[in-house]
Amino acid sequence: MKKIINITDITEYLYCPRKVYLKLIKGIKSPPTQRMINGMLRHKVFDIFNKNEKPLIEEIKEKIEEKEIRKEYETLLDDISECVLAQNYSLASKFGIDKRDFLKSVKETMNPEISLRTKSVISVLEKGFYGKELWINLSPRYQTEVKLESLDLGLKGRVDRIQFSDSITPYEIKTRDKIYDSDKIQLAGYALLLEKEFNKEINLGIVEFLGQQQEIELTKELKDQVLEIAEKIRNLTEENAKFPSNFQKCVNCELKENCS
């Protein structure tokens, strides 16, 4: 069985093979940080939110206003966030995660997602569907922070957003104002995982950054490159895990103390 390679390790390899070598081959792990724990808790929130959208939608038995639908989504998100924090109170406290800051950051992340989902619900309500029929006919449908894994491909990853309609479209969401080649590779990796999961060819992905969107053609060449890099990672050795040519990359690396 192939060793499972995370898509983020593939993009990290493009940035610095040495770092991937230290993590995956030498087993040197970064100590847990507030940011890491915060991210883990956020993933829990998003996973539960995705799973609870269906019953929320199926409870809509009549036409209601857009603001009411949005409020239902926001209440669901608040309840889940509060619950996840309560269940992980000791861990959150240990790493100094402030409840108000956490709830605020989750809301800010999910605001665009809730807007997309609300508009989709409204468009289907206008066609006269309610309850279970509303859910069945909901299109486009969105999921946030979706975890995928394929033993056949030897890949795993977590997609920022997936849009389901006649086609399936993965999104990679960035806070910077520039798109890198690694973003395209990342989307191609997600496309491979989604193709395995849903047995449907995926040729288009979207990078979203600072309110803008750019479509990325997910070619066979890009997908092949994902698989090639994954194989390089599986075969990493001390000799082929070279130091980066630009040592500015090392300045903020959390593994720099272990790198020699």
Domains, the chain, in order of start with CATH, read 5-26+141-251 (3.90.320.10), 34-136 (no CATH)
Q: Which of 49, 52, 68, 50 is nearest to 60 (CA)?
A: 68
Residue 240's pLDDT is 82
Whether the Cβ atoms of residue 208 and residue 194 lie closer than 8 Å to each other: no
Residue 245's pLDDT is 67
* DSSP-derived 3-state class of residue 220: helix
Whether the Cβ atoms of residue 131 and residue 60 lie closer than 8 Å to each other: yes
Q: Mean pLDDT for each consecutive 10-residue tract of the chain (260 residues)?
A: 93 91 88 91 94 96 95 97 96 96 94 95 96 96 95 96 96 88 96 97 93 93 97 90 74 80
Whether the Cβ atoms of residue 105 and residue 50 lie closer than 8 Å to each other: no
Return the residue matching tokens 């406290």. Answer: 93
* DSSP-derived 3-state class of residue 70: helix
Structure letter (DSSP) for residue 26: S
Residue 93's pLDDT is 95
Which residues share a beta bridge with 259?
Answer: none
Residue 257's pLDDT is 81
Return the residue matching tokens 């690396």. Answer: 253
For residues 146 and 159, give the distance between their C-alpha atoms in angstroms, rounded to a whole number: 5
Amino acid letter, residue 141: R
Whether the Cβ atoms of residue 141 and residue 123 lie closer than 8 Å to each other: no
Tokens representing residue 73 in the block: 């989504």
Tokens representing residue 232 in the block: 């390089």
Residue 238's pLDDT is 81
For residues 11 and 157, give the distance between their C-alpha atoms in angstroms, rounded to a whole number: 11
Residue 56's pLDDT is 97
Q: Could you tell me how far CA 9 lies from the centroid of its own chain?
A: 14
